Amino acid sequence: MFEYTAPKNLLEDKTILITGASDGIGKVCACTFADHGARLILLGRNQEKLEAVYDQIEAVNPGKTVIHPLDFISATAADYQTLAQSLTEQFECLDGLIHNAALLGAMNPIEFYPERDWSELMQVNINAAFFLTKALLPSLSRSADARLLFTASSVGRIGRAYWGAYAVSKFAVEGLMQTLADELANTSSIRVNSLNPGGTRTNMRRAAYPAENPESQPTAESLMPVYLYLMSPQSKSIHGQTLDARSFDPNS
């Protein structure tokens, strides 16, 4: 596992938006980034869970966090533009965007995959990432050193039976990342990458592998050195890369 001891002020004066911030890796990123000085905008569909994360962060790092409940299934392009305008009014720029929200969906053969599950999952896992990125690119462009990180999956790099829309959506996420990275490589300071966290002790993992002992998987906290490094100035040379948290090496 990658080792990195981040200074406590690593993300001081940085404004970072995290989707899927009410649980799992997104929640741990939020708490960790706040501990390292970041200002945070936390998106999620469950207001109660978002408020719980807000309270947890506020108790230790007051005045650092804004929450924005948003259901990606029903959100429209206008909703994303409204969010972008609100952030422009509140913050000088956006220094980081982590696309962490995702649905797992049905674990069925394609032949029997539920059409509604397919549509909802694509809306959350790829369409929302497109709309949100498009709306926030101007704000990211105002940062001197912005980071845009898409959450990937091993089943979105090599297809696997019965993973259905989840796997297909993660292939699409990789395509969005690579296309955007190529467009911005020579025209922007925004660094764009995808990161596969690997098997992690989360609710989604338990839903995908109900017979597995959760204790056999690493915690989300163990991933934080990688996330912190990718948000840091040291990662400026990493761009357009399909990264894996379990084998991450910034020098490779």
- Report the C-alpha gap between 44 and 215 in whole angstroms: 26
The angle at the Cα of 156, spanning 160 to 226, to the nearest 5 degrees, equals 125
Instruction: Convert 180-202 into a string of H (helix), E (strand) and C (coil).
Output: HHHHHCCCCCCEEEEEECCCCCC
Put the strands of the sheet holding 191-196 in their side by side order. 65-69, 39-44, 15-18, 96-99, 147-151, 191-196, 242-244
Strand partners, 16: 40, 96
* Catalytic-labelled residue, pool 54, 113, 166, 227: 166
- CB 210: neighbour CB atoms within 10 A? 7
Give yes or no: 166 in active site: yes
- Report the C-alpha gap between 156 and 167 in whole angstroms: 5
Q: Cβ neighbours of residue 93 under 8 Å, at least 6 residues apart?
A: 15, 139, 140, 142, 143, 146
**Within a 13 Å sphere around the CA of 183, how many CA atoms are in the beta-carbon half?**
9
Say if CB 131 and CB 74 are below 8 A apart: no
Q: Which residues are catalytic?
A: 166
